[in-house]
Structure 1
């Protein structure tokens, strides 16, 4: 389990992260989302002990990262796939880490096989790897110590569609086995496909924290009538706020019973009355970060 309580990081007059509080529970994948510069990487670095918080604390399985006796056996970390020794082979990198962690050579071979780097790729120098291959090696390194927690920052960068699908299945299987996953990614559809829980951060502050179902459900009721004009008048008379859609229906801020009674009182014939559809993660993300995205410099 990962717990962040009041994590704050300031650099002079600039506050990169402010009072970030959330939890990632066993058996779940938590999608950690936000626009560029929102504070995602800084938060993850504080959780992993690479950046000292100005205030607040983070724990993994109840302990700070720097207090874990053998961190690699409890938490697998992939924050920067390029931060690997370019002059060593993939197999050498995993072998050195295995010795430090007390992991067998068989585990190294198994991880290389799992991520698709067994054989000739394992004997190539990492400096000659593509970004996708480095991501695969980074994930193999994160899983090497058989941890129960994964912290991954943009692990899908450089992967082709087949590789992204493979990683999604791997993370889902890890969580379904009781593991805890904190996943940051700009690929919103992939996060939506694999995540159980979502945390959104904007300008260093957590602005949304909840299950995927809670955050992606739309409020309101969709209603459509034989005569839209009469329906609009009936809703207005009943004091029900409603917005008209392009298809001629309305999304009303009331439950089905209240809408049905208002329509019946006005003699309006209804053709449709149902809860509003759930929205996608992209819609949620844009609705909460639109100002930030609009202010980003255009290339």
Structure 2
């Protein structure tokens, strides 16, 4: 099934998308899609629900992030060999791990705010994974059983802050609206193979990124197992797994976002996002 949250920012309700493609209000079944409700066997509670019996959501309603908040927003860098090459970086021998501040989470079609002092705002279409069950030192063979579902993510990045201001990448990855997620979380029954999903990103109608998750260096299962050897992954945690080539940083000459630019991005079976860049 597909899990959504809808409504004005801060007032979102949980919902589901039925087989007919209509958005349905699931607030009679669960209070929200939060770390707490996910930990209480959310997937089990929703299993077998006749989605068609739930109230329809009004057309045109805003979609929020499909999780209300995250305890940890983890990201994997340089996870596509051709993306590493375009940035002039060596192919990593182990996953490159960094964090995005949980406060950067935003809806799939919300404006992306251009921060004050930003010089090199960039885009990254990515497959995100939402953890559904506590993962502590799990094997690669068992890793996917800990997944609630998959979602589309735009790992918005300020490259000057990321690479030219010292310290860790988190500084360039965490400003408000730098983590658009959704439009939905697709549960594993919706995704036959997370390692074979087409993906794209356009800027102002021009195709910049085209890829497929089969070219990831480290698979979703490997990433979950690897991370769980260093930290406990909790229900509701989000892992965004890297981007294919075509980012602004890798272009010659380099190209970065400015106020008024528009992005459209998508992943097969995970929907599309549309964002406008607005000066903060």
TM-score normalised by structure 1 residue count: 0.21
More helix by share: 1
Between structure 1 and structure 2, the one with the greater Rg is 1
